Amino acid sequence: MVGYAPGEQPQEGQFVKLNTNENPYPPSPRVAEAIQDAVERGLQLYPDALASEFRERAGDVLGVDPDWIMAGNGSDDILTIVTRALVGQGQQLRMPTPSYILYHTLAQIQGSEVDEVAFTPQWGLSPEFATPSGDPRLALLPNPNSPTGTVVSLPAILETAESLPCPLLVDEAYADFAEFHSVDLVAKSERIMVARTLSKSYGLAGLRFGYLIAQPQLIHEFRKVKDSYNCDALSVAAATAAIGDQAWLRDNVAKVRATRGRLSDSLKKLGFAVIPSQANFVWCRHAEQNSQQLYEELKSQRILVRYMKYPNWQDGLRISVGDDAQIDALLAALKSMV
Amino acid sequence: MVGYAPGEQPQEGQFVKLNTNENPYPPSPRVAEAIQDAVERGLQLYPDALASEFRERAGDVLGVDPDWIMAGNGSDDILTIVTRALVGQGQQLRMPTPSYILYHTLAQIQGSEVDEVAFTPQWGLSPEFATPSGDPRLALLPNPNSPTGTVVSLPAILETAESLPCPLLVDEAYADFAEFHSVDLVAKSERIMVARTLSKSYGLAGLRFGYLIAQPQLIHEFRKVKDSYNCDALSVAAATAAIGDQAWLRDNVAKVRATRGRLSDSLKKLGFAVIPSQANFVWCRHAEQNSQQLYEELKSQRILVRYMKYPNWQDGLRISVGDDAQIDALLAALKSMV
């Protein structure tokens, strides 16, 4: 197998980094305080295996019982746990296409079969997605989707989940940037689970913290599969502080959305086709210019975006919504190229 | 499946906690500084997926090329990655018995078959261990072993690895407390891999950081299986600082070994059979008293040890080597019971 190739993470030198959907704004100042406090409490003892402190705070914020929440070492850990628990060797993992590339790697590691169904031209789920001819054990739906930033509506998610023969995991890595989310659907259907991460909207990609919302009988089973102490004491403390500061989240999200609008409009003016995005990135493709070449030229100017090429679809650029200065630099560079 | 039940981790109240082999001494003061620096550098960006900073420092300390090292979110993550990479559904995972209970859980999650061989009466590997009649894909050897604290010699490890039809992972979670370790064997045989953790000897159980030493062609394959960003920026910084302070490690290890000797001698005087340990815990069993009852009585006095019961062997108490005050409290309590 080939393995998943994450976006470039240059560890030195100054880049305008718009390739892996990090938040351009720092996390809440409460995060640094919480880490300091945790260090002072000491690191010798194992952390609370269930991250109860986080689950209680998150439960308050989301209006969900803490027993409906499981914490993970990033939402990648959550995706891995759920896949390992539900999809055996040779069994099917259902997903829409084009979508998050990591899902293929998860299936490969598990020895499972990728069972893909194309999105409709309007980026909805086709009726075929909900009525498989095979026997999938889990369906994954990133919402908003990557790389498109598009969303499937809540009624469509509920309808799909009720039709599918297996659970549906809605991967809401980018939901804080969207107009709605599907947390409330979890209580309506045992079939619906929601994965979240603090990497994007909370500005904590360096921390690795994600969580799952699912009915407690499912959480109970998933806990058996996770590493006993999958989240460390510092990340639990930091994540608890971060999710407790909703005002900070709202401010950052508002800034990102505003810049996203400006980025999309400017790209269109430069001759790009831009898919309307509800995430903190946009997918675009120039009418005349080669996407890979644009990526290379930008990189030579120390501006990193993500070039992606999907079989049976297209190639293009996925550009993270940075801060205004970063986006100005990008647009200036593109202007000289197209 | 039942899932792995880790030792109790009371999150409140004062316990003399001697049940999960944590270090009674704090980590190097450099750890807190490194965490502070990492927080100041910012947490918005993804960490280095390969924890290069740690691998370089660890390589210096261990005399190993950094490309022979893979970092993990605790050595549990390392064990999970190696098992997922090598042992498929229905295939065999070989291990000695009695040994680390988590190995059974790893096999269960993977849908693999546990293939156990008893230690010899002198806690060595029997010739049978090295010559399976079946087809194991991976053999695990905790050295020192848990719960016994006993060790298999380096020549025996090398001989076993050369005879086995599959790789041998030596789980050295407790090796810093022992008289020798097997890191140098990795260069001698592609079949030998070594797993380490910073939870025990470095006093960083709260941090979740472990690593694997293996030949680079194997590391290359394992990297495809691990989560892209399995270690966060804070734990990489902290682990790098911790492994860089070998003087601190040596001092703590010397203290733990001295207390271990005193604990073992005192337990014997109280009528316990004690297996000579090279780890930071001892396994003991009283000649007349019921082990589970002793565990319960100690717990009622807010002293936590680990009661364990092994099918086809015995039950007993696994007692972590705490600091001198903790061990004094334990011995005083036991004296009133036996």
**pLDDT tens sequence across A195-242:** 999 999 999 999 999 999 999 999 999 999 999 999 999 999 999 999
| Owner of token pair 């990102």 | A256
Partners of A89 on chain B (C-beta within 8 Å) are 88-89, 111
Minimal CA–CA distance to A156: which of A119, A199, A187? A119
* Half-sphere exposure for B311 (CA within 13 Å, toward CB): 3
Predicted local distance difference test score (pLDDT) of residue A312:
87
Q: Is the dihedral of CA B155, B159, B164, B166 positive or negative?
A: positive
The token duo for A303 is 């501006």
Nearest CA in chain A to B222: A3
| Mean pLDDT of all residues in B313-328 | 97
pLDDT for the residue numbered A84: 94
Mean pLDDT for the stretch of residues A176-188: 98
Chain A interface test: which of B21, B23, B41, B44 (most A C-beta within 10 Å) = B44
Nearest Cα of chain B lies from the Cα of A233 at a distance, in angstroms, of 5
Of A9-13, A136-140, A328-332, B179-183, minimum mean pLDDT range: A9-13
Beta bridge partners of B286: B272
pLDDT value at position B121? 96
What is the amino acid identity at position A326? Q
Contact between chains at B46 and A205 (C-beta distance less than 8 A): yes
A293 vs B11 pLDDT, higher one? A293
A79 to chain B: nearest residue by CA?
Answer: B227
Contact by Cβ (8 Å): B103, B140:
yes
Is the bond preceding B147 in cis, omega lying within 30 degrees of 0? Answer: yes
- % of chain B exceeding 90 in pLDDT: 94
Strand partners, A226: none
Task: Decide if pLDDT at A4 tops 90.
Answer: no
pLDDT-derived band at B12 (thresholds 50, 70, 90) equals: low
Question: Quick check: A225 and B109 CB within 8 A?
Answer: yes
Whether residue B225 and residue A3 make contact (CB cut-off 8 A), yes or no, is yes
Closest by CA position to B284, among listed B297, B296, B270, B298: B270
Please list every residue in chain A whose beta carbon sits closer than 8 Å to the beta carbon of residue B27: 43-44
Q: What is the C-alpha separation between B179 and B172, in angstroms, rounded?
A: 12
User: How are the residues of chain A apportioned to helix, strand and coil, as percentages rounded to the nearest 5?
Assistant: 40, 20, 40
The C-alpha of A44 sits at a distance from chain B's nearest C-alpha, in angstroms, of 5
> Given a cut of 80, is residue B2 above it in pLDDT?
no
The share of chain A scoring above pLDDT 70, in percent, equals 99
Query: Is residue B211 classed as helix, strand or coil in its secondary structure?
Result: strand
Mean pLDDT across chain B: 96
Integer Cα distance of B45 and B267 in angstroms: 51
Q: How many pairs of residues across A and B have Cβ atoms under 8 Å apart?
A: 188
Smallest Cα distance from A106 to chain B, Å = 9
Q: Is pLDDT at B311 greater than 90 in this prediction?
A: no
Residue from A227, A252, A306, A323 whose CB has the most chain B CBs within 10 Å, to mutate: A227
Closest chain A residue by Cα to residue B26? A44
Specify the pLDDT at position A8: 80
Instruction: State yes or no: pLDDT of B335 exceeds 70.
Output: yes
C-alpha to C-alpha distance for B168 and B157, rounded to whole angstroms: 9
pLDDT higher than 80, residue B319:
yes
Q: Which of A9, A20, A46 to mutate to test the interface with B (most CBs of B within 10 A)?
A: A46
pLDDT of residue A332 exceeding 90, the answer is: yes
Residues of chain B with C-beta less than 8 angstroms from the C-beta of A1 = 224
Distance CA B191, CA B86 (A): 12
Query: Distance from B210 to chain A by nearest Cα, in Å?
Result: 12
Nearest-CB residue to A49 (from B9, B80, B223): B9
Contact yes or no for A272/A294 (Cβ under 8 A): no
Nearest to A200 by CA among A242, A262, A140: A242
- Our CA-based measurement puts residue A284 at a distance from the nearest CA of chain B, in whole angstroms, of 23
Taking only the tens place, the pLDDT of each residue in A74-128 is 999 999 999 999 999 999 999 999 999 899 999 999 999 999 999 999 999 999 9
pLDDT digits (tens, 9 = 90+) for A43-61: 999 999 999 999 999 999 9
Q: What is the DSSP string of A259-284?
A: HHHHHHHHHHHTTEEE---SSSEEEE
> Residue A264's pLDDT is what?
98
Q: What is the pLDDT of residues B137-164, one digit of tens each?
A: 999 999 999 999 999 999 999 999 999 9
**Residues of B whose CB is below 8 A from A229:** 6, 74, 76, 205, 208
DSSP H helical segments within chain B, as ranges?
A: 29-41, 52-62, 75-86, 102-110, 127-130, 154-163, 185-188, 216-225, 233-243, 246-269, 291-300, 324-335
What is the per-residue pLDDT across A166-176, written as a single tens digit (0 to 9) for each? 999 999 999 99
Rg (CA), chain B: 20
Q: Which of B3, B73, B223 lies closest to A230 in CB terms?
A: B73
Whether residue A132 is predicted with pLDDT greater than 90 in this model: the reply is yes
Helix (H, G, I), strand (E, B) or coil at A297: helix
Per-residue pLDDT for A3 more than 80?
no
A14 — pLDDT class (breaks 50, 70, 90): confident
Task: Please report the domains of chain B, with CATH numbers, ordered by start residue.
Answer: 16-25+247-335 (3.90.1150.10), 29-244 (3.40.640.10)
Give the residue from B198, B227, B230 with the most A CB atoms within 10 Å of its CB, the best one to mutate: B227
Q: Give percent of chain B with pLDDT exceeding 70.
A: 99
pTM: 0.95
> What ipTM, to 2 d.p.?
0.94
Measured in whole angstroms, how far is the alpha carbon of residue B20 from the centre of its chain? 10
The per-residue pLDDT for range B195-210, each reduced to its tens digit, is 999 999 999 999 999 9
Asked if A205 and B231 come within 8 Å (Cβ–Cβ), the reply is: no
How high is the mean pLDDT of chain A?
Answer: 96
Q: Is the pLDDT of residue A248 over 80?
A: yes
Which chain B residues touch A208 with a CB distance below 8 Å? 47, 73, 229-232
Chain B residue at shortest CA distance from A51: B11
Percent of chain A with pLDDT over 90: 94
pLDDT of the residue at B9: 77
